[in-house]
Amino acid sequence: MSDAPEQLRLMAVHAHPDDESSKGAASMARYVKEGVDVLVVSCTGGERGSVLNPKMDRPEVWKNITEIRAKEMETAREILGVKQQWLGFVDSGLPEGWLPDSDIALPEDCFYLVPDEVAAAPLVKFIREFKPHVITTYDEDGGYPHPDHIKTHLVTMEAWKAAGDPERYQEFGEAWQPSKLYYHMSFGRQRVTALHEAMVAAGLDSPYAEWLTDRDWTRDKGPRITTSVECAEYFPLRDDALRAHATQVDPDGFWFSVPMEIQQKAWPTEDFELVESTIETTKPEDDLFAGLR
């Protein structure tokens, strides 16, 4: 085990403003409380995102969506206590039926169409400046097949390889190799089942009943979990940050349909898959910084 650094640093790379509040937010809030320096990197501004809150679906919102989403992000990062940087690329949108192998066109100026090495350049710069010990991002299909989520995965993997290579991106200063890279593992079948059964036991209608019967679980990612971070105490803070993205989240909608006490008891962790590590660690882990403390 290595000596503990003076201050641990975590970088979370996300596609859009709001993703940081729906994936790993409670873990980040816990680590901030413990004194970890946490930086969220948002790859795009969410310019082409839909307005998913019917209460916000108004012409003046659509007209000013870029500015509004930036202000929502500012509020969310203050709630979580994290720092944040924009990678500066333009949201790709999600055309109906789009998949990576489809012939459905994306906007010419969008993030997805930027070559990986070009898109990774500002992320390499942030890695070398911030010097994270741990990076979190999305898995190979983006968690779900949105072009910006898939691109975020590709760009993060490129930056992970390049940031520690002194021969690459020399204009961004001294190389820095983070120690560990994780993927978010949000909705495995075991977690969905636990939440569903807890709702049924409480005599409540479960929002996950159709998921369990209708969803294709042949590629269930739950078995890939290596690391479960207990953070139930911070679920309310996570939800406050999520609600701050008022254009994206209906406060009366699906994501808030399971009572907080049931969430905290049925599944009190956020879960990750350790995919790259330069240090020795023992799996399963209960800490993203296992081996570094």
**With contact defined as beta carbons under 8 Å apart, do 263 and 215 qualify?**
no
192 backbone dihedrals φ, ψ, rounded to 5°: -60, -40
- Is 245 annotated to bind ligand? no
* Residue appearing with tokens 């590629």: 219
- Is 149 annotated to bind ligand? yes
The amino acid that residue 268 corresponds to is P
Separation of alpha carbons 168 and 173, rounded Å: 10
Number of H helices, E strands in the chain: 10, 7
The angle that helices 116-130 and 147-163 make with each other, rounded to 10 degrees, is 60
Separation of alpha carbons 149 and 165, rounded Å: 25
- Is 16 annotated to bind ligand? yes
β-strand partners of 279: none
Q: Closest by alpha carbon to 204, among 285, 261, 151?
A: 261
Binding-site residues from annotation for Zn(2+): 16, 19, 149
Binding-site residues from annotation: 16, 19, 149
